[in-house]
Amino acid sequence: MLSPSEFRDVVSGRRRGLAAGLARLGLRLAETPYAAAVRWRNWRYDTGRAEIHRAGVPVISVGNLSLGGTGKSPMVRWIARWFRGQGVRVAVVSRGYGAEKGAANDEALELQQSLPDVPHLQNPDRVEAARAAVEQFGAQIVVLDDAFQHRRIARDLDVVLLDALEPFGFGHVFPRGTLREPPAGLVRADVIVLARADMLAPPVREAICRRARRFAPDALWLEVTHSPQCLLGHDGRQRPLDALRDRAVAAFCGLGNPAGFRHTLDECGFRVAAFREFPDHHRYSRSDIESLAAWADALDVDAVLCTHKDLVKLDVGQLSHHDLWAVSIDIAMLAGQDEFESRLRDVLGK
């Protein structure tokens, strides 16, 4: 089974050779029925043949065009904090992907630590969850997490993130590329967010913006970066990033696009001696923890680092004798913040 990075090496064309070429051909054949099913589903909603439900309060959707790893969670937190700052009761609704039955997934656990006063409802039936948010928690605003392709709930603002590392999914829908749907789906977007925009030079950002605007000419363009804040322990302890700057660390993550986390580690000035990848939303077992501890013990490193999503699932402070820290991330807006806040106020007015 390919790791997330290996899969991207194949579909991007970076991996060469006969085996990689045959793999791309097979994935291209599988892409055709998948893309057709996506288009048919969107057509049903566009033409009113599939029912769209109202939550009874304004709804904001945060999603992406491609597979995971674009930074939806920091954006959801930013929006939720903004509304809480206005004195508005807000709830987050998600499908709960990767959660064991009756348990919260990594995104819910992370949100509970970051925003303890914001309820997070997880239910594969997000229509039911949105109604519960209003009826049981008195939510005045519902934020849908990872919902651009979830069209059963009407929304008042559709926020779509594009990852600077692969904004258009290598030109193909999954499994041949990393797009969840063709780029034409951006026509539904009200706000298009270029995540990790600091990784690209301004002319490259402008080129991506022009391409996105071909599909959504009236959408607001927003550029953000994922700003590292501190080192976070499983018990809530915090340390400054400088505590490990220029020091050797081992790092791992279970993300859809691990390259984003690698960029963050480099940005912080850590010397990454070794890096391990797990599948997106990976549920860490006892054997995984033991394997990570043995892996760290074999390295000459000062600490082990992961993402906040990984830390909340591990719930340990050390791997063997190595301290385990998460790199806490927040959104910093580079362009479009005033206009974005104006859009949020318009939602409040509804």
Give me the CATH number covering residue 97: 3.40.50.300
Q: What string of pLDDT tens digits covers the 350 residues of the chain?
A: 778 888 999 999 999 999 999 999 999 999 999 999 999 999 999 999 999 999 999 999 999 999 877 888 899 999 999 999 999 999 999 987 655 666 666 677 787 778 888 999 999 999 999 999 999 999 999 999 999 999 999 999 999 999 998 899 999 999 999 999 999 999 999 999 999 999 899 999 999 999 999 999 999 999 999 899 999 998 889 999 999 999 999 999 998 888 889 989 999 999 999 999 998 888 899 999 999 999 999 999 999 999 999 998 887 888 988 999 999 999 999 999 999 999 999 998 87
The pLDDT value recorded for residue 100 is: 61
What is the pLDDT, as a whole number, of residue 90? 96
**Confidence at residue 17, expressed as pLDDT on a 0 to 100 scale:** 93
Please check whether residues 343 and 206 belong to one and the same domain: yes
Do 124 and 241 lie in a common domain? no
Phi, psi of 15 (to 5 degrees): -85, 125
* pLDDT number for residue 99: 56
Ranges of H-type helices in the chain: 4-12, 18-46, 72-85, 106-114, 126-137, 202-215, 258-268, 286-297, 308-314, 337-349
Looking up residue 260, the CATH number of its domain turns out to be 3.40.50
- CB-CB neighbours of 308 under 10 Å: 20
Dihedral (C-alpha) 163, 153, 123, 311: value to the nearest 10 degrees? 20
* Residue 54: predicted pLDDT: 94
The reply to whether 149 and 203 lie within a common domain is yes
**The pair of three-digit structure tokens given for residue 280, joined into one six-digit string:** 């997106």
Opening angle at CA 333, ends 329 and 335, nearest 5: 155
138 and 3, same domain (yes or no): no
Which pLDDT score, from 0 to 100, does residue 108 have?
Answer: 72
pTM recorded for the entire structure: 0.89
Is residue 48 included in any domain, yes or no? no
Residues 218 and 85 both lie in one domain: yes
Are the C-beta atoms of 50 and 151 separated by less than 8 Å? Answer: yes
CB atoms within 10 A of CB 67: 21
Domain that holds residue 19: 1-30
Residues 217 and 345 in one domain: yes
Q: Please classify residue 82 by burial: count the beta carbons closer than 10 Å to its beta carbon, then call 0-12 exposed, 13-18 middle and 19+ buried.
A: middle
Is there a single domain that holds both residue 188 and residue 252?
no
The count of structural domains within the chain is 3
- The torsion defined by the Cα of 276, 277, 282 and 283, in degrees rounded to 10, comes to -10
CA–CA gap between residue 235 and residue 262 (Å, rounded): 24
Residue 286 confidence (pLDDT): 92
Residues 185 and 253 in one domain: no
Whether residue 46 lies inside any domain: the answer is no
Q: Are residues 200 and 240 in the same domain?
A: no
Q: Is residue 268 part of a domain?
A: yes
* 327 φ/ψ angles, rounded to the nearest 5 degrees: -90, 110
Q: Mark whether 83 and 220 lie in a shared domain.
A: yes
pLDDT of residue 115: 85
Cβ contacts of 209 within 8 Å, gap of 6 or more: 192, 194, 221
Tell which residue, 157, 161, 129, 189, has the closest CA to residue 348: 157
